[in-house]
Structure 1
Amino acid sequence: MREFKPRTDLGVTLRALRRQADLSQRQLAQRSGVPQATIARIESGRTADPSFRVLERLVSAVGGRVMIFAAGAAGAARAGPTGADEARLLPAVPHEELRDAAGRHCPAHLDAREVREPRDWPGAWWAQWHDLPPQRWPAPLPAVTYVQDRSERDRRRRGERVRREVRVRRFTGGGLPATSWRFLAELPDGELVGELRAHERSVDLLLGYDLGDRRELVLDGVLVAPECRLLGIGRRLVEALRAELDHAGVATVHAVAEFGGVGFLRACGFQVEWHRPSALRLAGPVSAGRRPPR
């Protein structure tokens, strides 16, 4: 008996395509020439079998292609008709199951979330009633909310991608001294989004007598690109450093930090030993008639 696969849900697929292209129904209608009412009917399931021409125009408007493969050509579907293209699974809309108070889908190209209490609703950010019981709320809460600011959506989605794809590795070679430790946080395309640097010091040399060649690390700094902060990259860099300590026979890491850096290092397992560190500077001699640099 021949096995039939379930039919594709065109509404779900079209919503996912719109989200990937970050287009509203009105914007997709303008690009494709398909009436917005038709798009709304397809996504709501009221038009289950639109014409092939309509589908082709909609998919082309979001930068995609409609491809048809013969039965049993799974390998061709993965490699593409010329062997050069590689098909990708279309990620579904994360909030596909959410509905507004009228039971309608949320805008697919926006990032929607459910509203359960006032703190979930940006529209109530100014109100001082977040701690009141529900029966005393001065305004009803919407079922869902979403961010309409395109730049904010792009920032959040990039953050999600960076958190998902970033990889941390220890960098060696390239003229780096054996006593220098360097860890890199990179994206698959090679973009550097974070870095940790440290260096070894010998306790024997520091104290002037033999303690069995004890080695310690001094943390030079943990740097994360401004647009990638608060994504856990700094913590992952420190975790990579800690994972290398036992292997290298290093028992202690020292660090000097101020302000927010203190809280970050404490959250990563460091303990405060001294408060209010001193900053020292060594200046060279100044010849007569020259003013020292400021």
Structure 2
Amino acid sequence: MSLLDRLQGNAGGAPGGELLARMRALSGDDSPANRAAFYQALLGANLLVPTSRPFDCPRDESGAATLPEGEPIPLVTVENDAGQRAMLAFTDVAALHAWRSAADHLSLAAGALFSIAVQNDFDAVVLNIAGPDGGDLSRREFSMLAQGMLPLAEGEHGTQALLAAGGRVAVAPLAAPPADALLAAFRAALRRNAAVETIFLFRLAVGGSHWSLAAGFCMRTRSEPERQAVFQSVGDQIHAALGDDEYVDFLALDDAAFRSEVQRVGMRIVA
């Protein structure tokens, strides 16, 4: 379940600065611009993480915990009837106390929190479980955020994404040629979408994360609705060519320097 599946908006709710303002804007209008602004604000925030006991550790200048390497954190987690586990996080003390008034907790930079969620194989991160403003981040969402990517639109086998401001990005050639079926699907998608000039396949790593398969799109349009339609169409087209555990990140190659690097190392799809 993605954040927007159960996002709650309440303008009269807990105090909270830019992050809650972005969350409320997103609950009112699920646009790519609002998603990007929310995720960017989220990555720039410190979040409160409840612990089952007091946990002392050094703090940085923002107040976020600097975790000792290799020492487990006594996290408080929740689990649903299907056995899926979620990590809890809160935007501020008021939201934490709405859930439990005397909870022990740590303040963590959001990126570090999402990395912990990935490492511990959580299925979701729940923001402000007791409201008044909150929602769930899916594993795909927090995994991409941990890499410094902003997931704008999520599909079954593809996600439209932006690179977060200040994110460290590495691109590389494919480790092996793509499967014939996947290549044929991308070629067919290119022929069917006049708004796409060309597509490049490459490997992407953000913020020192693992390598993932990415498709970079050189677009003939700047219209967000048209781009959304393109990504949906391409995702539908390649769906059958991907296995259950295979995924492709979709990125529009708008930044000239990034586009040049992708063109240098990527495999160009020719219709």
Instruction: Tell me the TM-score normalized by structure 1.
Output: 0.22
* Greater share of strand: 2
Bigger radius of gyration among the two:
1
